[in-house]
Amino acid sequence: MSERDGFPAGGFPAVRMRRNRRTGWLRRMVAENVLTPSDFIWPCFAIEGTNVCEPVVSMPGVERLSIDLLIKSARHARDLGIPCIAIFPVTPDHLKTPDGAEATNPDNLVCRAVSAVKDAVPDLGILCDVALDPFNSDGHDGIVRDGVIVNDETVDILCRQAMVQAAAGCDIIGPSDMMDGRVAAIRQALDAGGYQDMAIMSYAAKYASAFYGPFRDAVGSSGALKGDKKTYQMDPANTDEALREVALDLAEGADMVMIKPGLPYLDIIRRVKERFAAPTFAYHVSGEYAMIKAADANGWIDGDRAMYEALIALKRAGADGILTYAAIDLAEKMVADGVSSVRR
């Protein structure tokens, strides 16, 4: 080894890289990245009814919960040290319309869930998704006119959606729709409505991905979706475009940005964090989660270790936090181990 780039000349046997790997305590001491419950945002699904718990078949371990049960799970998440949850509604089919009007109803399912959880667990953060796909009979994130997802009309509705969520008590607005100009419009609407301190976590680089299928099953939008989302979500081939999207969202008032999905886009996470040094989050999406769970169920991999490895990769790439359906399970293991991180 030559002396360059700060590395000294010399090598084996004076240098033995395995020395720092000999024991668990030593590996922990020199670890460059650590996962703790504070790194997680737990995405959960709210459903109508009382004492209702419906498993999501395509996402083993994930359930749709009525508000009363969601409150109990939210309290458990808080007690585990998870700082924030994201609530997604399973909107009844009869309330889904082409204009997604239910999204702006201050008494809709997500608003009632947010209010109830906030009243019961006030010191737990709540992230609300702003997009029309749970409310739109076409299954799209925006309004569809003659087969086209229209931008500006959708943005107007998203602003009203954000306002009812803010009034319900959410702490972070998360525009996931990928309409142009929506962050600026939502920021202006929130400020004008007296919500100057409401944070925005924009889904700034959201790709048109094949990994979203189980999520659409969970919220009941997969059967409604007509066509695809390639005209507004990003092309998986592009990376420079992601930097432009992030730059625009930050300039328009986003406080935090998200890359979605996670593992297939580690390069995007790294580029965004290095370029902007802004709070950067990764969404370990439903398909990523489901693949690990399915392989574990078939005995092909150790699911716990694989899940940890996937999430620490997101952290290592530069993510400050991770939205993951494994948040509760991993946090429980961390607490049971009596340490603030999972190490294998």
Q: Retrieve residue 118's tokens.
A: 């906030």
Which residue out of 118, 229, 260, 315 is catalytically annotated?
260
Report the 10 Å Cβ neighbour count for 92. Answer: 12
Query: For residues 145 and 164, what is the distance between their CA atoms, to the nearest angstrom?
Result: 25
Q: Are strands 199-206 and 172-175 parallel, antiparallel or unpaired?
A: parallel
The end-to-end CA distance of the chain, in Å, is 31
Query: For residues 8 and 240, what is the distance between their CA atoms, to the nearest angstrom?
Result: 36
Q: Retrieve residue 344's tokens.
A: 């294998």
Which residue out of 206, 273, 293, 315 is catalytically annotated?
206
Query: For residues 242 and 205, what is the distance between their CA atoms, to the nearest angstrom?
Result: 5
User: Does the annotation count 96 as an active-site position?
Assistant: no
Contact 204, 254 (CB under 8 A): yes
Return the sign of the alpha-carbon dihedral for residues 164, 167, 169, 174.
Answer: positive
The secondary structure of residue 57, as a DSSP letter, is: T
Residue whose C-alpha is closest to residue 110's, from 52, 167, 51, 177: 167
Helical spans, DSSP H, in 7-53: 24-30
Classify 136 as helix, strand or coil: strand
User: Does the annotation count 260 as an active-site position?
Assistant: yes
Q: Retrieve residue 19's tokens.
A: 């020395």
The amino acid occupying position 23 is T
Helical spans, DSSP H, in 220-302: 240-252, 266-276, 286-297
In b/e form, how buried is each residue of 50-80, taking b as 16+ CB within 10 angstroms?
eebeeebebbbebbbbbbebbbebbeebbeb
Q: Retrieve residue 114's tokens.
A: 């947010």
**Residues labelled as active-site residues:** 206, 260
